[in-house]
């Protein structure tokens, strides 16, 4: 059981790492999605350890949704179609102007506050970010691509292991392990016939 559960662990660790950076950037929608993913990973680990194929199937179904969500994030940050980071604040439920944490904290980024700017809404400040080795959009895209990659392996893993578990359950049923008819002990038959005694 221990070796089988290693793969969902890796997926869970990657989701926790992502959850931390989404918290730092006040990205509420990804935080919620990451939380659901972590719960699904726990379900997958439990299903593996307890030999429950139904939990692994539920984990596999979630991974399909997870791949779709991460594909949407990639499209969002690359502004595919009508998506726009400047107009759509989907990641924060449209409650704030916060962006990805990596926008200001990416590798090599130099943040300069713009003083006395009339562009800043109340309780916000305007900054310029320069010198980034990799723009935050691409960091988010790479992170989502990695999640998709792990999810595809997780899907194959969950399908294979659940199939093995179901085959083991079927073979155990065949030899009478979980006999739905119940076990009945063989009845002793006597060849001795009793005759009434007349005196």
Q: What is the mean pLDDT of residues 175-180?
A: 50
Q: Are 158 and 59 in contact (CB under 8 A)?
A: yes
Please tell me which residue, 102 or 40, carries the higher pLDDT value.
40
- 70-103 residue pLDDT tens: 999 999 989 888 887 766 667 776 666 667 888 8
In angstroms and rounded to an integer, the radius of gyration of the C-alpha atoms of the chain is 29
Task: Give me the pLDDT at residue 17, please.
Answer: 85
Both tokens of 115, joined, read 């003083």
Per-residue confidence (pLDDT) for residue 41, from 0 to 100:
92
What's residue 188's pLDDT?
Answer: 54
CB 119 within 8 A of CB 59: no
Q: Look at residue 3 in the predicted model and tell me its pLDDT.
A: 44
Pairwise CA distance, residues 84 & 76, whole Å: 7
- Of residues 117 and 134, the one with the higher pLDDT is 134
Angle at 64 between CA 10 and CA 14, to 5 degrees: 20
pLDDT above 60 (res 34): yes
d(CA 176, CA 18): 47
Which two structure tokens, joined as six digits, stand for 3?
């070796």
Check residue 195 and give left, alpha or beta (phi > 0: left; psi -120 to 50: alpha): beta
Residue for token pair 């935080």: 31
Q: What is the pTM of this model?
A: 0.71
* Mean pLDDT over each residue of the chain, to the nearest integer: 78
């Amino acid at each position: 059981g221990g070796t089988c559960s290693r793969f969902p662990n890796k997926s869970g660790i990657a989701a926790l790492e992502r959850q931390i950076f989404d918290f730092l950037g006040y990205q509420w929608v990804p935080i919620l999605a990451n939380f659901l993913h972590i719960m699904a990973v726990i379900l997958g680990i439990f299903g593996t350890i307890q030999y429950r194929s139904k939990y692994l199937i539920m984990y596999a179904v979630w991974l399909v949704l997870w791949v779709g969500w991460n594909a949407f994030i990639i499209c969002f940050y690359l502004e595919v179609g009508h998506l726009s980071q400047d107009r759509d604040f989907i990641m924060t439920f449209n409650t704030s102007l916060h962006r990805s944490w990596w926008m200001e904290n990416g590798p090599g980024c130099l943040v300069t506050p713009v003083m006395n700017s009339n562009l800043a809404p109340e309780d916000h400040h305007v900054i310029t970010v320069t010198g980034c080795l990799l723009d935050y959009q691409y960091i988010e895209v790479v992170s989502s691509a990695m999640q998709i990659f792990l999810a595809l392996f997780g899907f194959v893993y969950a399908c294979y292991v659940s199939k093995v578990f179901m085959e083991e359950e079927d073979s155990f049923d065949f030899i009478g392990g979980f006999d739905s008819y119940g076990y009945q002990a063989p009845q002793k038959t006597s060849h001795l016939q009793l005759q009434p005694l007349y005196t």
